[in-house]
Amino acid sequence: MTARSLPDLTTYQAVLFDLDGVLTPTAEVHMHAWQTMFENLFADWNIAPPYTEADYFEHLDGKKRYDGVAALLRNRDVEVPWGDPSDSPEEDTICGIGNRKNLVFERVLREDGIAPYPGSLALLDVLAAAGTPIAVVSSSKNAEEVLASAGIRDRFPVVMDGVIAERDNLSSKPAPDVFVEAARMMGVDPATSVAVEDAISGVRSASAGGFGLVIGVDRGVGSSALTDAGAHIVVSDLEEFVQ
Ligand SMILES: [Mg+2]
């Protein structure tokens, strides 16, 4: 790899970070939670063949929670009613089973914890030392729990997450609303601020919001896909910004 000079992020007004895949490897916790929940369900209901990791990538990864449950059960020829998002986790509906997965996710977080990416933590330390304001902009409704489990909640005066977005009727990524509103809450101008994202929808959101620097972190999406979505710079890890 050729050396290249990356901008000094402390010269910007603020840095706004996506959470899952940027600050924390949350996908692993989701995989573990799906596996635990479905292994129990398949055993209880005598569903065959048993759950495997291939099921995660084929039916669950990247889908909304309930759509994933429906897809995997359909694959095993199991039919249950859709139910309603307010269903309790005990109910044998698509929504109830999806809510059961979220309970397991919260338990896995509590029991196993989650460590931030070391490179991301190092960059947060650099920004803190320079007094550069930072925020989290996540679509997740579990952002508060993930940040607390990772031990970095107190670093962020502003956390824009799926709970606040729903409450305030903000359109989700790739619309710019969540990034722009977080910048407003911080009292900073997007044009002189940085947004950091690992997903195409997130890069599109920050780009549409007019951020002065949009950084794509390539955790598997691919550098050109992130650039095409509007990233000015793509790195494989935020460690690259730590001198
Ligand atoms: Mg992400």
Same domain, yes or no: 20 and 42: no
Domain count, the chain: 2
Q: How far is the CA of 161 from the centre of ligand 1 (A)?
A: 12
Q: How far is the CA of 20 from the centre of ligand 1 (A)?
A: 4
List per-residue pLDDT tens for the chain, 243 residues long: 455 789 999 999 999 999 999 999 998 898 899 999 999 999 999 999 999 999 998 898 767 789 899 999 999 999 999 999 999 999 999 999 999 999 999 999 999 999 999 999 999 999 999 999 999 999 888 999 999 999 999 999 999 998 999 899 999 888 999 999 999 999 999 999 999 999 998 999 999 999 999 999 999 889 999 999 999 999 999 999 997
2 located within any domain: no
pTM: 0.85
Active site positions, annotated? 18, 20
How far away, in angstroms, is 25 Cα from ligand 1 center?
9
Q: Which residues span the domain enclosing 62?
A: 28-112
The CATH number that applies at residue 165 is 3.40.50.1000
User: Measured in angstroms, how far is the CA atom of residue 128 from the centroid of ligand 1?
Assistant: 22
Q: Is residue 184 part of a domain?
A: yes
35 in any annotated domain: yes
13-31 burial, b for 16+ CB within 10 Å, e for fewer? bbbbbbbbbbbbbbbebbb
